[in-house]
Amino acid sequence: MSTVPSSSSAAQNASAATVAPRTPSLVTIHPVALFSILDHYLRRTDTQDRVIGTLLGTRSDSDVVEVKSSFAVLHSETSEQVAVDMDYHRTMYELHHKVNPKEVIVGWYSTGSNLNTYSALIQNFYSQETAPHQAIHVSLNTGVVQGEKAGVQAYVSSPVGVFPKPENCVFTPVPVELKFHEAERTGLDLLTATAADASSTSSQPVADLEILEKSIQGVSDMLDRVLAYVRSVVAGEIKGDAAVGKYLMDTLGSSTEDLEKGGFNASLQDTLMISYLANLVRSQAEVSSRLALTASS
């Protein structure tokens, strides 16, 4: 019963999409795309004020555009004209397409946050590349100019004026989010830890236990902080916050029934067993590799 109206509305949506695809309402960016842009900016020539490039990604059924990666494109800007190396753009797109066929052109990026006539012209070019969908423009402020904050902005454009011209358009901001998979999270943690280091380097590989130690240390520090807060509230030095109190109760009052019922010991035995097995296998492997040497010599 309910399928009929929903399918008809889907059909309506589809027909609407063929006429004019929906304007993106959210842009998500993968960190790799941002890092590539920063690298490109570092490698610009002296004469270049800003660098531009193509954004690759996917469009979901809804109006979310996911930017997954980016590559640099050659361009030159003078006071009279702007030129984008379209051949280069095409070649690079084809190369990327071979490895990752799911990613299509979704728009373009530039560094710096000023939008000008040239931006409109380049936007016009990319709109042809992404038709019938709208091209998005991501501007990344690298924070190099003093007084400007580093950040990312995304825009969609719409023509302006009674007779639309390619050099005139309105850039409408679209919300941007950083998006990545949970498994990549650890890589980002590694990079942020590296960045925080004074020498901007960190050595690899790190042992599992070391990371675990750091995490436990972090948790223990947090517990100390909470404990200090609770003690000072109890002592009457600070006025307690009811919201914080409730939050603490929710977090710390979790059930430990399973552990009490001997679950801990059973689990401990399993883990020790696995550890024993692993070491046994390793020594066996070592022995057989030595035996293989003696057997045939």
Q: List binders of other proteins among 160-189 (CB under 8 A).
A: 178, 181-189
Instruction: Considering the complex, state which of residue 61 and residue 182 has its C-beta at the smaller distance from other proteins.
Output: 182
Instruction: Considering the complex, state which of residue 16 and residue 178 has its C-beta at the smaller distance from other proteins.
Output: 178
Residue 127: CB atoms within 10 A of its CB come to 21
DSSP-derived letter for residue 10 is H
Instruction: Considering the complex, state which of residue 128 and residue 204 has its C-beta at the smaller distance from other proteins.
Output: 204
Among 216, 227, 228, 234, binds other proteins (CB under 8 A): 216
What is the footprint of other proteins within residues 244-273 (CB under 8 A)? 244, 247, 254, 256, 259-260, 264, 267-268, 271-272
Spatial contact of 17 and 4, defined as CB atoms under 8 Å apart: no
Q: Mask: binding to other proteins, 102-141, rule CB under 8 A, as x and -? A: ----------------------------------------
The least CB distance from residue 204 to other proteins, in Å, is 4
The least CB distance from residue 234 to other proteins, in Å, is 19
Cα torsion 194, 198, 200, 206 to 10°: value is -40
Residue 226 interacts with other proteins (CB under 8 A)? no
Q: Which two tokens stand for residue 275?
A: 């550890």
Instruction: Considering the complex, state which of residue 62 and residue 288 has its C-beta at the smaller distance from other proteins.
Output: 288
Residue 17 interacts with other proteins (CB under 8 A)? no
CA distance 1 to 154: 41
- Strands 26-29 and 75-77, sheet pairing: unpaired
CA distance 80 to 40: 24
Which residue is listed with tokens 């070592």? 286
Residue 2 interacts with other proteins (CB under 8 A)? no
Spatial contact of 113 and 154, defined as CB atoms under 8 Å apart: no
Which residue is listed with tokens 């130690």? 213
The least CB distance from residue 71 to other proteins, in Å, is 8
Which residue is listed with tokens 């998006």? 179
Give kind and range of the element (H or E) at residue 139. Answer: strand 136-141
How many chain residues are in contact with other proteins, going by CB under 8 A? 92
Residue 23 interacts with other proteins (CB under 8 A)? no
What is the footprint of other proteins within residues 86-105 (CB under 8 A)? 88, 91-92, 95, 98-100
